[in-house]
Each structure stands twice: as structure tokens, then as C-alpha cells.
Amino acid sequence: MAKLTFYGAAQEVTGSCYLLESPALGKILLDCGMHQGGDAVDRVHEESFPFNPAEIDAVILSHGHLDHSGLLPTLVSQGFDGPIYCTQATRQLLRVLLEDARGLYERDLDRENLRRQRAGRPLIEPRYTAHDVEKVLRLCDGKQYRKPFGIAADVELTFLDAGHILGSAIVHLKIIEHGKPRILVFSGDLGNRHSALMNDPEYVDEADLVLMEGTYGNRNHRDHDATLDQFKQVLHETWQAGGNVMIPSFAIGRSQELIYHLGCLHHSGELDNWQVFLDSPMAIEVTEIYDRWLHLLDDEDIRCLSDANRESLAQFLPTLKLCRSAEESMQINAIKQGALIIAGSGMCTGGRIRHHFKHRIWKRENTVIFIGFQARGTLGRMLVDGVETFKMFGDDFKVGARIETIGGLSAHAGQDELVDWLGHFQVNSPNADTQRPRVMLVHGETEALQALSDRLLQDKGIRAEVPAYRDSIEF
């Protein structure tokens, strides 16, 4: 028998981490993500592993987002030395993500230690260093989609396209013990079928155990055409008001999709005269990685780039200005109206978006557009929930700007898509004790996962469980 223990993203969205143990496998982690919210020092130092990292034989990584990969350097620093299996594109993205996270962590740690030094308090030792990030990258073993490979004598791993971000994967793990095969399928983060650039998530039809995400398990996204109409309307209304638009965006996935949609608006003459700024060195570097992997992305969307005689996303939007330096970022402050600013971080926990908030969020003519999930405890979630004032950089800020959420641009599948994806599995029995596959819902807040469980039973006759932190199951 194999044992699976839920050490993260159990009735919560961030911190994805599951420990799989069996005689054939040894001990393997599915993802090793950090929780999001708070500053970088808090995030790293408040995390502790409920297992010995030196005893972990391998990590299987679904994709590069930090809530799935962010604790890999800490894992390595505490003794892990095994392979990290991921897709080839994920390996390239990890270098950018982990280096950026290390830089934020070290800057926050330096500031915290300066405060401690002034107060005569003990200094905090770093949990990981640049050496550990480099070791993570050396341990990464990048694989292609749909090509099974062995990770042990009787264990076969296959990555399928999850359609979430570049390189994102559904994990298909086949374990043979005593001549009997068992299959575990981990959805990773399933993409929104209407997302630009990404392929649709691939279907799987057989498994003994399925771990499926439920980020949006309690709701669907707005219709794609209606979403783009809303986006155009908000841009036009802000333009007419003489304002500026700030879009907190994740460096991977959402920024590239935004550039694509804005490029389409430009080529159809619907973009007004916005000056568009991609104000994120990491997002710029990620966009260049996307350009190298265009052949893996959605054929129809990539043809649009070719039809416009463009070979990169940045070329597709001629009004786009790439802001790599802090000086280029600060120059945007001089623009009084007509600036459309795409900046990280996506949940407003850090990054240049907070500096743009400092200059613009208190002005009524401006608009903040959220296009991705906002986890509890983040500034982004506070703004979406309607907070009227908040503290940032030691000062109080009034929210004068218009706050808009455009859910149809989410990179996650909505409830209908999740139900459809799971409905492709062959279910042999509706009985809770004998149902195959056994279904565990993860990576979602409690109410979202429970709503998804109810819907699966009602529509598909599939019983799905909602595990809690540290729960274990055997299969």
C-alpha cells in the first residue's frame, strides 16, 4: 500500500505539498510550495517541514508558481539531495522565480536584521542562500509532455499538459507493487479553457486516486466574450475619466495573456491611446521564455501573432514599454493620465505595484483591475473585499481608485470545467467504500471545496473527500 499525507494546500490555496510513501517509491513529495501573504522573511521562517528533508527521495513538481515550488531551496538547505522532476519549460521558469524570491527574501532579511541590531536583539540566520537555489536548479530533471519515464524500478511518471501556465503539468504516476498497478493522478493547477495562449487541460480516464485542485470550486468564471467586453469597457471608462489603470499581475501567465489581449485590442483599433508599461523585470524575462516556447502553446492564438508578422509577444503590442530598471519604473509616476501599468506582485504582497499604489490608489479617476485569485491575508484580497483604508510603507492609504475584478481572465478552471475534467474518469462505483478512483479535493478554501464536492455528487454521482492538514490516506 501507498500512503499519502497532506502537508499543504489542504482546505487552503497556497503551500501545496503532499508526501507520498510506498515500498516501491520510497518518500516522494508532490510539490513543495510556500504559503503566500506577509513579507518574505515571515513566509520563509514561519514554514517548517513536518518531515525530515534528508529522507525525501525525490520531488515531483507540477509547475513553477511559488505556492508550489517556493520551499525547494529550504528543502535543499536542510538536506534534500534527490531529483526534482518537472517539465523542461518549468525548469527554465524556476530559475527566474527562485532567484527573484531569493532577492526579496535577502532584502527583507537585511532590513529585519538591521532593526534587530539597533534594538540589541539576536540576528536571524538565513534559511537558504544563492547556493541552495543553484542546487535546486541542478537537481531539476526536465521532461517532455506525454513521454512516460521511470523514476524507480516499478514506478512510471508521465506529465500531461495542465493548461495553467507555461510548463504546468498534470502528474500521472503508475506504481506497480506485487504485480498490481495503481495509478495516482494529481491535477496540479488546471487551466481555464478560455485562457489565451494556453492549451486546454488534457483529460485522463483512469486512476485509483485523484488529487484535484478546487481553487474556484464554488463558482464559474464570466463568459470569455463578456469578460473581454468588461475589460474594454473599464479601460474606456477610465480613459474618459482621465485616469490610469494599475493591474497587479503574476509574472508568469497573466502578464503574457494581458499582453496578448492588449495586442489584439491594438490591432482591432480598440485600445485608445494607452501607454502600456510592463513594469516587472521578472515578467519581462518570463515573457522572453514564453517566446522561446511558442511552439508548445495554443496554435490558434499563436497564428494571430504570425498574421501580424510578429515573432514575440512584446512585438505584438507596439505600444508596450518594458521597464527593467527602477529608474524606468519611477518615470511612470510623471504620467498624469493614460498609463496602463502591469506590475507585480499579483496579490500585491510586494513588488512595484505597491509603489504605483502609493502614487495613484488614493485618486478617484484611477482604476485597479484584478485578474487573478487573491489569497486570504494579502493586500489584493483586502482590496477585492472592499477595504476602505490600508497601511503600506508605514503610512495609511485611502482607497479612492475604482476596484474591478475580471474573473474570466483567471488561469484556473472554474467549477464547470473542474466537474467536466473529473467526469472523464471511469468511475466504477458510487459507493464511498469501493469507488474507484478515490477523489481528494485540494488547493481551495474550505467552502469552495465543499461546494465542489456537493456538485460532483449531484451531477456525476462521484463522492469526493476534502482532506485537512496532516490527514493521511492509504491506497
How many Cβ atoms from other residues are within 10 Å of residue 218's Cβ? 18
- What does the pLDDT read at residue 161? 98
Q: Is 278 found in the same domain as 183?
A: no
Query: Going by C-beta distance under 8 Å and a sequence separation of 6 or more, which residues neighbour residue 334?
Result: none
Asked whether 68 and 16 are in contact (CB, 8 A), the reply is yes
Helix residue ranges, H only, 253-397: 254-267, 281-292, 299-307, 313-316, 326-331, 353-360, 379-384
Q: Is 333 found in the same domain as 244?
A: yes
Sole residue written with cell 497573466: 254
Q: Is 463 found in the same domain as 359?
A: no
- What does the pLDDT read at residue 430? 58
Q: Is 444 found in the same domain as 357?
A: no
- What does the pLDDT read at residue 43? 62
Sole residue written with cell 509574472: 251
**Short-list 279, 288, 257, CA closest to 93:** 288
Helix residue ranges, H only, 172-312: 224-240, 254-267, 281-292, 299-307
How many Cβ atoms from other residues are within 10 Å of residue 103's Cβ? 14
Q: Is 466 found in the same domain as 404?
A: no
C-alpha angle 204/208/210, rounded to 5°?
60
Domain count within the chain: 2
Q: Return the C-alpha torsion angle 393, 396, 401, 402, nearest 10.
A: 100
- The amino acid sitting at 249 is S
- The amino acid sitting at 97 is L
d(CA 146, CA 212): 19
Q: Is 421 found in the same domain as 404?
A: no
Q: What is the CA radius of gyration of the chain?
A: 22
Cis, bond preceding 467 (omega within 30 deg of 0): no
Residue 84 vs residues 186, 241, 372, 419: alpha-carbon distances, Å = 16, 50, 28, 30
Q: Is 32 found in the same domain as 136?
A: yes
**Short-list 471, 472, 467, 436, CA closest to 453:** 467
d(CA 331, CA 186): 45
Query: Going by C-beta distance under 8 Å and a sequence separation of 6 or more, which residues neighbour residue 301?
Result: 196, 197, 260
> How many residues make up the chain in this entry?
475
84-87 vs 58-60, strand pairing mode: parallel
Q: Is 176 found in the same domain as 143?
A: yes
| CATH number, residue 131 | 3.60.15.10
All 3 cell numbers of residue 4? 499519502
Domain final residue pick, 409, 428, 443: 409
How many Cβ atoms from other residues are within 10 Å of residue 410's Cβ? 24
All 3 cell numbers of residue 42? 515571515
Q: Is 188 found in the same domain as 48?
A: yes
Domain encompassing residue 395 = 224-409
Each residue's pLDDT expressed in tens, for the chain with a length of 475 residues: 899 999 999 999 989 999 999 998 999 999 999 987 666 666 666 778 999 999 999 999 999 999 999 999 999 999 999 999 999 999 999 999 999 999 989 998 999 999 999 999 999 999 999 999 999 999 999 999 999 999 999 999 999 999 999 999 999 999 998 889 999 999 999 999 999 999 999 999 999 999 999 999 999 998 888 999 999 999 999 999 999 999 999 899 999 999 999 999 999 999 989 999 999 999 999 999 999 999 889 888 888 887 766 778 988 999 999 999 999 999 999 999 999 999 989 999 888 999 999 999 999 999 999 998 888 889 999 999 999 999 999 899 999 999 999 978 888 999 999 999 999 999 986 565 679 999 999 999 999 999 999 999 999 999 999 999 999 999 9
Domain final residue pick, 409, 427, 457: 409
Q: Is 381 found in the same domain as 248?
A: yes
Q: Is 140 found in the same domain as 234?
A: no
Q: Is 115 found in the same domain as 237?
A: no
Q: pTM of this prediction?
A: 0.90
| CATH number, residue 386 | 3.40.50.10890
Q: How far apart are the first and last CA of the chain?
A: 6
Asked whether 230 and 444 are in contact (CB, 8 A), the reply is no
All 3 cell numbers of residue 201? 487541460
Q: What is the DSSP string of 121-181?
A: PPPPPPS--HHHHHHHHHHEEEE-TT--EEEETTEEEEEEE-SSSTT-EEEEEEEEETTEE
- What does the pLDDT read at residue 96? 96
389-392 vs 395-398, strand pairing mode: antiparallel
Domain final residue pick, 378, 409, 440: 409
**Short-list 423, 367, 461, 407, CA closest to 215:** 407
